[in-house]
Amino acid sequence: MENKQKITGIVVEYNPLHNGHIYHIEQARSITQCDVLIAVMSPNFVQRGEPAFINKWTRTQYALEWGVDLVLELPTPYTIQSAETFATQAVNILAMAQIDTLVYGSETGIIANEPERDIDHQKLEAGLSYAKAMSSHQQGPNDILGKYYIKACQKHNITPIAIKRTNSYHSLELDESIASATAIRHQFNLGNDTSGYTPIDLLNNQTHHLNDYETLIKYSLLASNPKDLENISLVSEGIQNLLISNAHLNLEALIESCTSKRYTRSRIQRTLINILLNQSKDIPEIQQFRVLGMREAGQQHLRYLRKQDVSYTTHFKDYQFKDIEYRATSIYSLPYSDAYQKEQLNMEKSAIIRVPNK
Amino acid sequence: MENKQKITGIVVEYNPLHNGHIYHIEQARSITQCDVLIAVMSPNFVQRGEPAFINKWTRTQYALEWGVDLVLELPTPYTIQSAETFATQAVNILAMAQIDTLVYGSETGIIANEPERDIDHQKLEAGLSYAKAMSSHQQGPNDILGKYYIKACQKHNITPIAIKRTNSYHSLELDESIASATAIRHQFNLGNDTSGYTPIDLLNNQTHHLNDYETLIKYSLLASNPKDLENISLVSEGIQNLLISNAHLNLEALIESCTSKRYTRSRIQRTLINILLNQSKDIPEIQQFRVLGMREAGQQHLRYLRKQDVSYTTHFKDYQFKDIEYRATSIYSLPYSDAYQKEQLNMEKSAIIRVPNK
């Protein structure tokens, strides 16, 4: 039995979901004319080394409502990692779900690095010439990810397609109808109205902020032995000694004091989150993927994959990373109310989000 | 050179110092006619498995002002232990400081247990007959400690003297001029005036409450592997699994749910504090004692001890338990303001309290 359907994958964080992401979903569907659109998503912590602004269940719900057919979980230990590990493992999961095409956002709309120039199946559907793209835009974080997406796609025989991002990743302003997730979080935290930029009702959802974890992060350093921290993912070259010796500072000063050319701010934050989650270097290889939510088309595709003996689960208790994800969600919800934590842990153990096709 | 001075020791927590403690100090001095009164004191966590209500420096200050000549630190890992370990190690330190007599409080004024009946050097200075004491009072926590004090005194050839406590340990009421520390904490937390019962200005000192550590305690469980917790002091028989599986409850419910005939409330609290402090089972033997504060008479006695090659320190950096105490103080002050934590850590590294003789 052969699958004649066109299956497209995207790698997302939706931190939070905004108009640019919706454009990305629409573009991915229209460019590839896919039957099924699958997103692999960062769960409750994100790649930049922060708690997700909104919990993974709400983000799954919105992803499905705005055009994704199937949302899969990128395991937390592979999310709070370097761009290379994040991208490689995300594509790995999408390959398990048998996508034929990956659509990703890019600041330039092209991949500028030497090794990728010879990928002739890369399609520049957004219609930019190489020179024009290069002259008008700088490389951004998504271009760095793009390099690794393409490399991973080559391995799995998946077609990568870049879509040009319509806004600047680094801007903190809300000056277009499409603002970056960073800008939306920033403006929301300033108390400004963000409702024109994201469909999520941020005021009526629990938002999570790195600063809410300040005491826990400092505690995780102060209570630790430097020797034990050597086993934590991303801890290397004695960075834990610097972190511990600055753990009496406030969080911003702690991060600042440990940031250097060698250890970027993101790297320090990711390291702190790995310590916070007590995530050891010994991370299991991904053997199965977990479904966070689906629409009808996604469910049909899952049935197809089941027949192909693809290993996945919709049941938390069967999930390979269940202890790690339970811990991550426990800690993610700990700074907030008991009721919220209880709800999040209950969802972790049993939830799967279902949204009818439009 | 022989020391002709009379040296008396007491074991204290002063949680907080109150009129009953002042009576105890006065009685200890007048009964023994001592030249030097030495207290060994619980530092920032106390034996019942709680943060000390007031930090150790303020408590040292008040102890010296109210009649103690020398305050020594009971190392934290030996404080948050069973009554037997606490009492044995406290007397051990006092023996290093060469006391000849130990004066301790007792609910009955006597020691009722069989093994201690034959201790004929025990002096009942408070003037109660055995029968009278037994008929009018029940054994209390101080009598349980008393058993172990006497046992330790025998080993070190120290004379133990019991003083009858004038109030009930368990009462939560402030109905006499002498109220228990428990009653004072309880009434203070209810917002009631406790100034008639303790000389400490509780309103103008940072008070510490177990509930302020709730999130940290829950985190210390949620972030831990059951296997790793086996190495923590007091963790035995798989109790960590029960603690972890109830770590989503609020702190009171968590403690309650793990309390049983086998695991008393105090035992559970002590276990949680050991986990909070990441205190391993591998606790070094006490090789030296640390001085927290002194009056003139105490300082003279220290000079005498130095000549006897007794090992003690007034410098934190030379202290055998410095890493453990620094960690304990870091965590003890973490739930409060950055300024308070900074002050406490600075004092930890350099403070020694000096009070002139009256």
Tell me, what CATH number does B102's domain have? 3.40.50.620
| Nearest-neighbour CA in chain B from A194: distance (Å) | 31
CA–CA separation, B125 vs B103, rounded Å?
10
Residue A138 has pLDDT above 60, yes or no: no
Same domain, A138 and A246: no
Under a CB-based contact definition with an 8 Å cutoff, are residues B208 and B332 in contact? Answer: yes
Q: How far apart are CA B299 and CA B289, in angstroms?
A: 14
Per-residue pLDDT averaged across A177-195, rounded? 89
Contact (Cβ atoms closer than 8 angstroms) between residue B28 and residue B34:
yes
Across the interface, do A216 and B219 touch by the CB < 8 Å criterion? yes
Q: Residue A89 contacts by C-beta under 8 Å, 6 or more apart in sequence?
A: A74, A75, A78, A81, A286
- With cut-offs at 50, 70 and 90, classify the pLDDT of residue B21: very high
- Give residue ranges of A with CB < 8 Å to any B CB: 215-216, 218-220, 222-225, 247-248, 250, 276-278, 327, 330-331, 334-335, 338, 341-342, 345
Task: Mean pLDDT check: name the lowest of A29-33, A289-293, B105-109, B214-218.
Answer: B105-109
Q: Judge whether B51 and B210 are in contact, CB under 8 Å.
A: yes
- Is residue A195 included in any domain, yes or no? yes
Q: Kind and range of the H or E element at B34? A: none
What integer pLDDT is reported at residue A134 of this predicted model?
42
Which of B76, B212, B219, B245 is most worth mutating to test chain A (most A CB atoms within 10 A of its CB)? B219
pLDDT value at position A178? 76
Summarize the confidence of residues A306-314 as an average pLDDT.
Answer: 97
Indicate whether A148 and A218 sit together in one domain: no
Give me A60's structure tokens: 């799954």
State whether residue A7 is helix, strand or coil: strand
A199 and A215 co-located in one domain? no
| Closest Cα in chain A, distance from residue B204 (Å) | 24
Is residue A296 in a domain?
no
Dihedral of the alpha carbons of A222, A227, A231, A233, in degrees to the nearest 10: 50
Mean pLDDT of chain A: 89
Lowest mean pLDDT among A272-281, B164-173, B345-354: B164-173
A179 or B307: whose pLDDT is higher? B307
Q: Is the pLDDT of residue A175 over 80?
A: no
Quote the percentage of chain B above a pLDDT of 90: 80
Binned at pLDDT 50, 70 and 90, residue A24 comes out as: very high
pLDDT in tens, B262-289: 999 999 999 999 999 999 999 999 999 9
DSSP B295-346: -HHHHHHHHHHHHTT--EES-GGG-TTHHHHHHHHHHHHTTS-HHHHHHHHH
Chain B residue with minimal CA distance to A345?
A: B248
Instruction: Judge whether A255 lies within some domain.
Output: yes
A262-298 in b/e form (b: 16+ CB < 10 A) is ebeebbbbbbbbbbbbbbeeebeebeebbbbbbbebb
Q: Does residue A13 surpass a pLDDT of 90?
A: yes
Chain A residue with the nearest C-alpha to that of B218: A334
pLDDT band of B102, cuts 50, 70, 90:
very high
Q: Partners of B190 in the beta sheet?
A: none
Identify all chain A residues contacting B334, using CB atoms and an 8 Å cutoff: 215, 218-219, 222
Q: Which domain holds residue B41?
A: 7-204
pLDDT at A104 (0 to 100): 94
Structure confidence by residue, pLDDT tens digits, A197-221: 999 999 999 999 999 999 999 999 9
Where residue A114 falls (left for φ over 0; alpha for ψ -120 to 50; beta otherwise) is alpha
pLDDT tier at B259, thresholds 50, 70, 90: very high
What is residue A170's predicted lDDT score, i.e. its pLDDT?
Answer: 54
A225, A250, A276 — which closes off a domain?
Answer: A276
- Beta-bridged to residue A354, according to DSSP, are A294
Domain-embedded: residue B310: no
Residue type, A8: T
- Which is nearest to B22 in space by CA: B6, B10, B8? B10
In this structure, the strands spanning B50-51 and B45-46 are: antiparallel
Verify whether the Cβ–Cβ distance B334 to A224 is below 8 Å: no
Q: What is the reported pLDDT for B224?
A: 95
Half-sphere exposure of A358 (CA within 13 A, CB side): 7
Best of B218, B220, B222 to disrupt the A interface by mutation (most A CBs within 10 Å)? B222
Contacts A282 to B, Cβ<8 Å: none
Least confident of A225-234, B73-82, B127-136, B345-354: B127-136
Q: Output the CA torsion sign for B175, B181, B182, B188.
A: positive
Asked if B341 lies within 8 A of A248 by C-beta distance, the reply is yes
Residues B188 and B222 in one domain: no
Rounded Cα distance, A184 and A196, in Å: 10
Q: Indicate whether A312 belongs to any domain.
A: no
Q: Which residues touch A130 (CB under 8 Å, ≥6 apart)?
A: A110, A124
Confidence of residue B35 (pLDDT cuts 50, 70, 90): very high
On whether residue B339 sits in a domain, the answer given is no
- Backbone conformation region of residue A264, classed left if phi is above 0, alpha if psi is from -120 to 50, else beta: beta
CA distance B196 to A221: 42
Same domain, yes or no, for B185 and B238? no
The predicted structure's pLDDT at residue A286: 98
Residue of A nearest to B344 (CA): A248
Q: Which of A293, A354, A244, A237 is nearest to A43 (CA)?
A: A293
- Residue set of the binding site of A for ATP: 11-24, 105, 142, 165
Residue B129 has a pLDDT of 38
Q: Which helix (H) or strand (E) covers residue A201, if one does?
A: none
Last residue of a domain, one of B276, B300, B330: B276
Within 10 Å of residue A177's Cβ, how many Cβ atoms? 13
Confidence at residue B120, expressed as pLDDT on a 0 to 100 scale: 34
Nearest beta carbon to residue B248 from set A215, A277, A342? A342
Interface touch B248/A330, C-beta < 8 Å:
yes
Q: Which of A135, A145, A140, A148 is nearest to A169 (CA)?
A: A140
End-to-end CA gap in chain B: 28
Q: Are residues B49 and B93 in the same domain?
A: yes
Distance from the first to the final alpha carbon of chain A: 28
If asked whether residues B55 and B193 sit together in one domain, one would say yes
| Closest CA relative to residue B40, chosen from B73, B15, B68 | B73
Which residues in chain A touch residue B278, judged by CB atoms under 8 angstroms apart? 223-225
- DSSP-derived secondary structure for A77-119: HHHSS-HHHHHHHHHHHHHHTT-SEEEEEESSSS--SHHHHT-
Is residue A316 a contact partner of residue A262, using CB atoms and an 8 Å limit? no
Cα distances from B52 to residues A180, B16, B63, in angstroms, run: 48, 8, 15
Query: Residue type at A230?
Result: E
Q: Which of A10-14, A141-145, B186-190, B284-288 has the lowest mean pLDDT?
A: A141-145
Amino acid A114: pLDDT:
35
Q: With contact defined as beta carbons under 8 Å apart, do A49 and A271 qualify?
A: yes
pLDDT at B124 over 60: no
More confident residue, B1 or B187: B187
| Residue A215 with chain B: CB contacts under 8 Å | 215-216, 334-335
Please count the residues of chain A: 358
Residue contact B220–A216, C-beta within 8 A: no
Confidence of residue A139 (pLDDT cuts 50, 70, 90): low
Tell me whether residue A51 is in a domain: yes
Can you tell me the distance from the alpha carbon of B275 to that of B77, in angstroms, rounded to the nearest whole number? Answer: 11
Which of B180, B204, B228 represents a domain boundary (last residue)? B204
Residue ranges of alpha helices (H) inside chain A are 19-32, 56-65, 76-79, 83-96, 114-117, 130-136, 141-156, 181-189, 214-222, 226-229, 239-245, 251-258, 265-276, 296-307, 322-333, 338-350
The two tokens of residue B246 are 């109830």
**Average pLDDT for residues B134-154, to the nearest whole number?**
77
In a domain, A92, yes or no: yes
Asked whether residue B221 falls in the same domain as residue B237, the answer is yes
Q: Which residues of B touch A278 (CB under 8 A)?
A: 223-225
Distances (CA, A) of B285 to A227, A292, B156, B182, B304: 22, 52, 17, 31, 24
pLDDT in tens, B298-312: 999 999 999 999 999
Same domain assignment for residues A129 and A242: no
pLDDT in tens, A324-351: 999 999 999 999 999 999 999 999 999 8
Question: Reduced to 3 states, what is the DSSP secondary structure of residue A11?
Answer: strand
B241 is in an annotated binding site: no
- Kindly report, residue by residue over B175-203, the tens digit of the pLDDT: 667 788 999 999 999 999 999 999 999 99
How many domains are contained in chain A? 2
Q: Which amino acid is at B90?
A: A
Chain B residue set in contact with A, beta carbons under 8 Å: 215-216, 218-220, 222-225, 247-248, 250, 276-278, 327, 330-331, 334-335, 338, 341-342, 345
CB-defined contacts A:B, below 8 A: 55
Label residue A25 by pLDDT band (50, 70, 90): very high
Overall average pLDDT of the A67-93 stretch: 98
- Cβ-nearest to B222 among A250, A334, A342: A334
Average pLDDT over chain B, rounded to an integer: 89
User: Which residues lie across from A46 on neighbouring strands?
Assistant: A50
Q: What chain B residue is nearest to A329 in terms of C-alpha separation?
A: B222
Q: In this structure, are B266 and B135 located in the same domain? A: no
pLDDT of residue A140: 66
pLDDT, mean of residues B222-238: 95
Asked if pLDDT for residue A109 goes beyond 60, the answer is no
Do B250 and B140 reside in the same domain of the chain?
Answer: no
- For the stretch A238-293, pLDDT in tens is 999 999 999 999 999 999 999 999 999 999 999 999 999 999 999 999 999 999 99
Share of chain A above pLDDT 90, in %: 80
Residue % of chain B over a pLDDT of 70: 86
Tokens of A118: 């010879």
Confidence of residue B114 (pLDDT cuts 50, 70, 90): very low
Instruction: Please check whether residues A26 and A80 belong to one and the same domain.
Output: yes
User: What's the distance, CA B40 to chain centroid?
Assistant: 8
> Is A115's pLDDT higher than 50?
no
Residues linked to residue B11 through DSSP beta bridges, in sequence order: B40
Are residues A219 and B327, on separate chains, in Cβ contact within 8 Å?
Answer: no
Provide ipTM, 2 decimals: 0.87
